[in-house]
Amino acid sequence: MLRLREVASGMAALRGCELVVTHGNGPQVGEVLLRSELSVDEVPPVPMDLAVASTQGSIGTMLVQALRGVLGRPVVALLSHTRVEPTDPAFHRPEKFVGRFYAEAEALDRKAQLGWQVAEDRGRGWRRVVPSPRPIELLEIDAVRHLLDSGTVVVAGGGGGVPVMEHGGQLTGLEAVIDKDRVSALLARQVEADLLVVLTGVDHVLVGFGTPHAAPLSEVDPDTLGAHLRAGEFPAGSMGPKIEAVLSFVAPGRSALITSPERLAQALSGNAGTWVRA
């Protein structure tokens, strides 16, 4: 919670803006799944969609507490559902690792007992894998717009949103997770935002990361940034999804900023961070 308050303090520079906040939940979902596994002999296992929903609630509560005082405005955390297409190819290729590591025999036992899909995670051990389909629509978008119009700061799309499909007007939760960066960009487009801010663990985007030739990008256009992405500068497990999200959002009249919470105020004044402008 202390770290969250530090991040919230860095957002004071956005006090006067219409603001929607999203967040990740990967470690927290892993904790929910681990508790569920440890108690499987006593209570039914927690489905993935409910694990996402419960962490939206807990992280959303902490964000409300941290942001309300900093921003001096009402803050509402909205339980969010993200619709995906049933024909998404991700359902045939589960690749998103979730939960803890296992020895191979234990992972295969989980697969047999619980119906999981499992795979080896880069030589570090075996883990459960689930689909990560592309988000189509945040179902609560009208409520988000209404809250923004009333001057409320909205926390929405946490952890990519609860993944759902729609069948005959009925929603069905899924054993899947949705990339939070993709949902952040989708949400920004749906509310017609003019700025997408991606807060991460570095002050700016680097090319040549981890080499003696590493260089920061202070301002870059989408074509150049896309070329760096295709050249393999941004790994899929770290900066890659953030760059893809930014590229899906930036257009004439719409910009993106990537920086750390600590440098946000400086970045908004043009003295830090990586700006992406068309």
One domain, residues 119 and 71: no
Q: Tell me how many domains the chain contains.
A: 2
How confident is the model over 66-91, as pLDDT tens digits? Answer: 999 889 899 999 999 999 999 999 99
One domain, residues 122 and 231: no
Domain boundary among 76, 106, 130: 130
Determine contact, residues 275/220, Cβ cutoff 8 Å. Answer: yes
Contacts with 274 (C-beta within 8 Å, 6 or more apart), sequence order: 204, 205, 216, 217, 218, 219, 220, 257, 258, 259
Residue-level pLDDT at 100: 83
Low-confidence ranges of the chain (pLDDT < 50): none
Compute the distance between CA of residue 248 and CA of residue 139 in angstroms, rounded to an integer.
20
Residue-level pLDDT at 204: 92
Q: Which domain holds residue 109?
A: 97-130
Residue-level pLDDT at 27: 83
One domain, residues 84 and 103: no
Residue-level pLDDT at 168: 83
One domain, residues 108 and 41: no
One domain, residues 32 and 115: no
One domain, residues 255 and 124: no
- Separation in Å, CA 70 to CA 104, 113, 162: 47, 48, 28
One domain, residues 179 and 255: yes
Compute the distance between CA of residue 253 and CA of residue 100 in angstroms, rounded to an integer.
42
Residue-level pLDDT at 155: 97
One domain, residues 123 and 254: no
One domain, residues 124 and 178: no
Compute the distance between CA of residue 66 and CA of residue 8 in angstroms, rounded to an integer.
6
Compute the distance between CA of residue 235 and CA of residue 1 in angstroms, rounded to an integer.
29
Residue-level pLDDT at 98: 86
One domain, residues 258 and 173: yes
Residue-level pLDDT at 1: 57
Residue-level pLDDT at 2: 53
Contacts with 189 (C-beta within 8 Å, 6 or more apart), sequence order: 248, 249
Compute the distance between CA of residue 16 and CA of residue 29 in angstroms, rounded to an integer.
32
Compute the distance between CA of residue 233 and CA of residue 235 in angstroms, rounded to an integer.
7
Q: How crowded is the C-beta side of 121, counted as CA atoms within 13 Å?
A: 21
One domain, residues 251 and 272: yes
CATH of the domain at 71: 3.40.1160.10
One domain, residues 112 and 153: no
